[in-house]
């Protein structure tokens, strides 16, 4: 079949919802995407190395809070979605979407091992007319420098025999307003045919598709977005430290500043960066930039400020305890919120973990409340979440609000008189001598 005919056939299969879609990596990104394609009538196969995940999906059970059990069960029951650990089945896919983790190594260098493993599996059965899309966040150049040569090693040519694109995932776990469907999707292919095919695919599922000229631009778009957040959070964290010294309420400053209807966007201070994206992605960019002899000064500076925040929180705990004439050593400190942000169960890179580690090193006795994280195994210790009301009744020496889940009611905590360090402004509008705001 000529390259043109391959392309035409793929477009027709996509338009007619006849394309068989494979999603590799069924986590926070892959599972919502697989469900959305299945809801549009495609036949979707989810691939994961984790048997417990594929088993739960096939039983119609969701382990991702943003994917409703009802929606998942419906598409599994209708036969539009199934999951497997058998990578050999990739050969039967028309489209393969790769959504595996892209963490950092201990040295803060990119760890592409999950992407490489997935691409090896795709390459093993690559066939003419297949569309391969990488969605994992990564540095500019990954698709054409790493993925393309691995796939072409089988003898087929990208953008002619098969199609290759990068499309960054922008999902925001826990966001009730924006989801896979209404978040615009950026798509950059290796060439025109690849961009067109990937745009056609997402056009079936996503309201707005934004085409860019290359995979590198698409890769850089995602890193700009997340670096923008990391740098602005770093700036506002520094402002919080400054305001504390100057005895100015940083939260009141931000609230007033955000009334400006143009040219300002609010960012908020906190106990540090968390999650799989903002603390990690800028390092992918600075690593790549260094290969080009370029130092990313903004990224480095923001990284320094943001990663110093847990230390600062512990200093504020020491200050709060000082008001009741107690040292950290031997004090009972109750940490409120372990997940890295409100109303999610994800504790990857959560600054609460750093705060706990630092407090433990200084001799604090620790407990925590987090309805989203029932058990915490970290730093060689296992803790179980305590209901907040019970924790208040046990009168800890200090409480630190690290994550302000909607389920928390702080009324009794504030009334109890326990010293509270509030890193999230969760106690906004409450005035009490026992509240210490970040
Ligand atoms: N979580 C987010 O909010 C978010 C947002 C935007 C982009 N991203 C990016 O998307 C990518 C995936 O992130 P995530 O949060 O969904 O990760 P995750 O850890 O929730 O899910 C990844 C899944 O991939 C599976 N996996 C690992 N290696 C595999 C392999 N070789 N074959 C098949 N499956 C494999 C894991 O078992 C896991 O289920 C990352 O690059 C991340 O940076 C994440």
Q: With beta carbons less than 8 A apart as the criterion, state whether 180 and 202 touch.
A: no
Pocket residue to mutate for ligand 1, from 23, 48, 53, 167, most atoms within 8 A of Cβ: 48
Count of CA atoms in the C-beta half-sphere (13 A) of 398? 30
Q: What is the structure's pLDDT at 1?
A: 61
Residue 299 Cα to ligand 1 middle (Å): 23
Is the pLDDT at 204 greater than 70? The verdict is yes
Which ligand 1 atom lies nearest to the CA of residue 117? Answer: 31
| Number of other residues whose CB lies within 10 A of the CB of residue 228 | 15
Q: Where are the beta strands (DSSP E) in 277-364?
A: 332-336
Q: Inform me whether the pLDDT recorded for 173 exceeds 90.
A: no
Element of type H or E holding 46: strand 43-47
Between CA 274 and CA 306 the distance in angstroms is 10
3-state secondary structure of 81: strand
Return the ∠ at Cα 74 (arms to 69 and 78), rounded to 5°: 150
Task: For strands 332-336 and 365-369, give the pairing.
Answer: parallel
Give nearest CA residue, ligand 1 atom 37: 50
Q: What residues pair up with 332 in beta bridges, in sequence order?
A: 365
**For the CA of 138, the nearest atom of ligand 1:** 41
Of ligand 1's listed atoms, the one at least distance from the Cα of 64 is: 20
Centre of ligand 1 from the C-alpha of residue 137, in Å: 9
Q: 132, 275, 276, 349: which to mutate for ligand 1, most atoms within 8 A of CB?
A: 276
The catalytically annotated residue of 243, 277, 296, 398 is 277
Cα–Cα dist 218/211, whole Å: 9
Q: Whose CA is nearest to atom 27 of ligand 1?
A: 100
The confidence band for 106, taking pLDDT boundaries of 50, 70 and 90, is confident
Beta strands in 277-403 (DSSP E): 332-336, 365-369, 375-378, 381-384, 398-401
pLDDT at 3: 64
Cβ atoms < 10 Å from Cβ of 205: 18
246 — pLDDT class (breaks 50, 70, 90)? very high
Residues 114 and 261 sit within 8 Å (Cβ to Cβ): no
**Active site includes 277?**
yes
The predicted model gives 191-220 an average pLDDT of: 97
pLDDT-derived band at 154, boundaries 50, 70, 90: confident
End-to-end CA distance of the chain: 64
Going from the Cα of 242 to the center of ligand 1, the distance in angstroms, rounded, reads 37
| Span from the CA of 29 to the centroid of ligand 1 (angstroms) | 6
* Residues whose beta carbon lies within 6 Å of some atom of ligand 1: 24-30, 47-50, 53, 99-102, 114, 117-118, 136-137, 169-171, 173, 276-277
Rounded to two decimals, the pTM is 0.93
Per-residue model confidence (pLDDT) at position 2: 66
pLDDT tens across 36-83, in order? 999 999 999 999 999 999 999 999 999 998 899 999 999 999 999 999
Which amino acid residue places its CA nearest to atom 10 of ligand 1? 136
DSSP state of 158: B
Res. 352: pLDDT tops 90: yes
Farthest CA pair distance, the chain: 81
Arithmetic mean of pLDDT over the chain: 96
Q: How far is the CA of 24 from the centre of ligand 1 (A)?
A: 9
Tokens 């997402």 belong to residue? 202
CB 240 within 8 A of CB 271: no
Question: By the 8 A CB rule, do 201 and 131 touch?
Answer: yes
Distance CA(6)–CA(23), nearest Å, equals 21
Query: What percent of the chain is predicted at pLDDT more than 70?
Result: 99
Which of 22, 23, 24, 25 best tests ligand 1's pocket when mutated (most atoms within 8 Å of CB)? 25
Alpha-carbon gap, residue 62 to 71, rounded angstroms: 9
Separation of 182 CA from ligand 1 center, angstroms? 21
* pLDDT at residue 5 is higher than 80: yes
Instruction: Report which protein residue has its CA nearest ligand 1's atom 36.
Output: 25
């Amino acid at each position: 079949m000529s390259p043109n005919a391959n392309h035409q056939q793929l477009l027709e299969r996509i338009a007619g919802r006849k394309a068989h879609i494979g999603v590799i990596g069924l986590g926070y990104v892959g599972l919502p995407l697989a469900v959305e394609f299945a809801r549009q009538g495609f036949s979707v196969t989810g691939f994961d190395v984790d048997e417990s995940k594929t088993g739960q999906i096939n039983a119609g059970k969701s382990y991702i809070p943003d994917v409703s059990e009802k929606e998942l069960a419906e598409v599994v029951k209708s036969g539009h979605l199934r999951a497997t650990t058998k990578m050999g089945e990739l050969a039967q896919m028309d489209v393969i979407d790769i959504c595996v983790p892209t963490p950092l190594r201990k040295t803060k260098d990119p760890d592409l091992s999950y992407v490489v493993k997935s691409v090896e599996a795709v390459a093993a059965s690559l066939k003419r007319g297949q569309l391969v899309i990488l969605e994992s966040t990564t540095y500019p150049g990954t698709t054409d420098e790493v993925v393309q040569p691995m796939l072409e090693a089988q003898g087929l040519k990208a953008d002619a025999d098969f199609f290759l694109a990068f499309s960054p995932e922008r999902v925001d776990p826990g966001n009730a307003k924006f989801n896979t469907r209404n978040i615009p999707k950026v798509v950059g292919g290796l060439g025109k045919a690849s961009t067109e095919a990937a745009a056609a695919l997402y056009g079936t599922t996503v309201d707005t598709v934004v085409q860019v000229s290359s995979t590198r631009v698409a890769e850089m778009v995602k890193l700009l977005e997340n670096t923008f957040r990391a740098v602005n959070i770093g700036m506002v964290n520094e402002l919080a430290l400054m305001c504390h010294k100057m005895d100015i309420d940083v939260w009141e400053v931000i609230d007033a500043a955000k009334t400006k209807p143009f040219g300002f966007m609010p960012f908020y201070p906190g106990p540090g960066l968390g999650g799989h994206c903002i603390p990690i992605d800028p390092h992918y960019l600075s690593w790549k930039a260094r290969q080009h002899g370029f130092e990313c000064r903004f990224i480095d500076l923001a990284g320094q400020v943001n990663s110093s925040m847990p230390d600062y929180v512990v200093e504020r705990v020491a200050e709060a305890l000082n008001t009741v004439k107690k040292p950290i050593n031997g004090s009972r400190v109750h940490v409120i919120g372990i997940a890295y942000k409100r109303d999610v169960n994800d504790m990857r890179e959560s600054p609460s973990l750093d705060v706990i580690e630092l407090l433990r090193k200084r001799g604090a006795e620790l407990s925590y409340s987090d309805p989203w994280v029932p058990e915490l195994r970290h730093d060689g210790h296992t803790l179980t979440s305590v209901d907040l009301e019970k924790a208040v009744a046990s009168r800890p020496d200090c409480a630190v609000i690290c994550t302000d889940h909607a389920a928390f009611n702080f009324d009794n905590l504030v009334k109890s008189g326990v010293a509270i360090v509030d890193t999230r402004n969760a106690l906004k509008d409450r005035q009490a001598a026992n509240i210490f705001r970040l």
